[in-house]
Amino acid sequence: METGNKIIATITEVKGHCTAGHKAGDTFEISCHNTAGLCGFFYHNIFPNLSTFQYGGQYPWWRGDTLFLKCPDPVNQVSIKLEKVDSENTGEAEGL
């Protein structure tokens, strides 16, 4: 059973080649308990932000319910958008 906010991730851009096979437009649910197929380097890199975001925390530079993060590989750069989904509004994400 997941706790905290439901988080939907969207790959927004891939520069180079993602070794995990992600493509721009890929959308999936991700959480502190579900890596959603991200490679270990990327997941490890975003985990502090993901856990803070999932459990309702915030940093002063965050705005709203969306985060934009990047893969740590500088040659094969993958960008991801994380969005909190309202529990009342989950119908949009059910097909994921």
Residue with tokens 């706790």: 3
- Domain count for the chain, please give it: 1
Name the residue range of residue 43's domain: 6-88
Distance (Å, whole) CA 61 – CA 68:
12
What does the pLDDT profile of the chain (96 residues) look like in tens digits?
Answer: 678 999 999 999 999 999 899 999 999 999 999 999 999 999 999 999 999 999 999 888 888 899 999 999 999 999 999 999 975 544 444 444
Q: Is residue 33 part of a domain?
A: yes
Q: Is residue 1 part of a domain?
A: no
Distance (Å, whole) CA 91 – CA 95:
8
pLDDT of residue 74: 92
Pairing status of strand 66-70 against strand 27-30:
unpaired
